[in-house]
Structure 1
């Protein structure tokens, strides 16, 4: 069976009609027949012609998926160059816990999404029913949203730096300013609500502005979530 060096493997990247090869645990696979690899890049993140052993450890699917494809060779045992961006301590941590490479942001981003929508929902329920418990719940959701917005921003920046080399991708250019705007809006609303507990007693003036800002939270988180999903689950164009 043919032995590939790292340099030789890099030539099979799907460009100019070349086949698409990847390596995992020393085995080289031909994935040219996969729709997910037809452009030479998988999920806009993983490039072909490379050893993806570390990447697949953090993938949402099992490595056994590769057994569907033909093994056409083995990778020569070479010492791969370490990613100079990653400090040794972090590299060791990622090797021990590979899920930390991809999953911190997907795990935490759902919280601000839920709490922003919940704030809008319970505010509207309070306006419709006059039940004070809905108003209280909306305030609690807003406070939780402020906290988890910060957490999601930190994990998002980490994931962007580690997995996307902090490239100015279009979804990122949309997400960053909107996320900052949503965080600032939620902080303003939370503080405002604490300072003026009865702000929703009047649906004009300040009360109306408060409601409009609450509604804007759902709009912003929808756009942010859509762009985030386009990075995690990109639509492959025919």
Structure 2
């Protein structure tokens, strides 16, 4: 049985030929390469035997070199230390707690839970720039900036989470009583929080599909 590996997400397919689309990240057939039992690309050895043309050395512009080196270092640091999965644990862990606290405050009038929800959301909002930047670098370099349905959905959900979170925090700053039982906007406020939580869950689920794409089921 021949084995094919998706170069975008690492999914392994077994069959006579590569699938039309990757079932995990939806990359097309052109992104698959044939691999052996150890996951090594079969054509790599043959390609290395082909006589290579002499390399052409281009001297980089001196002014751009420091910036390029800094960007390269930061990218390698993000990928090597898995900073995106680490940073995304903050919103994934605190947002569900925030929404539960908010629901208790809105539905049962527990003011202390409204306060807890608000401070949790402020902290998550402060971490979102790190989450977004590291996620972008992961997408561009580990997944080659692939614009498949999975990645576009994940990016869209992340943007919705950021906008919803910013709306909730700013709204609470403007109107501190927005989540009080007497507030006419309390259910709308809670609804925005539920949309935020749903999108965070979808983004997390899609991220999990990418992480476990190459593992046996």
Shorter-chain TM range is 0.5 to 0.7
State the distance in 2 between where 1:172 and 1:93 align: 22
State the distance in 1 between where 2:158 and 2:178 align: 25
Q: 1:61-80 to 2 correspondence within 5 Å?
A: none
Matched residue SS, 1:165? coil
Q: Which residue of 1 aligns with 2:92?
A: 113
1:162 lines up with 2:128 in the alignment: no
- Using the TM superposition, give the Cα deviation of residue 90 of structure 1 relative to its aligned residue in structure 2, in angstroms: 5.2
- TM normalised by structure 1 equals 0.60
- Map Cα deviations across residues 57-109 of structure 1 (whole Å, 9 max, x no partner): xxxxxxxxx6xxxxxx9x88x9x9xxxxxx455556777x6x73461111111
State the distance in 2 between where 1:198 and 1:93 align: 42
Equivalent residues of 2:108, 2:181 under 8 A apart: no
Equivalent residues of 2:4, 2:32 under 8 A apart: no
Aligned residues: 182
- TM normalised by structure 2 equals 0.65
**Structure 1 unmatched ranges of 5 or more:** 1-16, 22-34, 51-65, 67-72, 81-86
Q: Which residue of 2 aligns with 1:229?
A: 208
Q: 151, 163, 166: which one pairs with 1:172?
A: 151
State the distance in 2 between where 1:20 and 1:196 align: 56
State the distance in 2 between where 1:179 and 1:134 align: 25
- Map Cα deviations across residues 117-173 of structure 1 (whole Å, 9 max, x no partner): 121011122235433221111001111121222221111000001111101022111
Q: 178, 188, 192: which one pairs with 2:171?
A: 192
**Structure 2 unmatched ranges of 5 or more:** 6-10, 39-44, 56-67
More relative contact order, 1 or 2 (CA 8 Å, 6+ apart): 2
Question: In angstroms, what is the RMSD of aligned CA positions?
Answer: 4.1
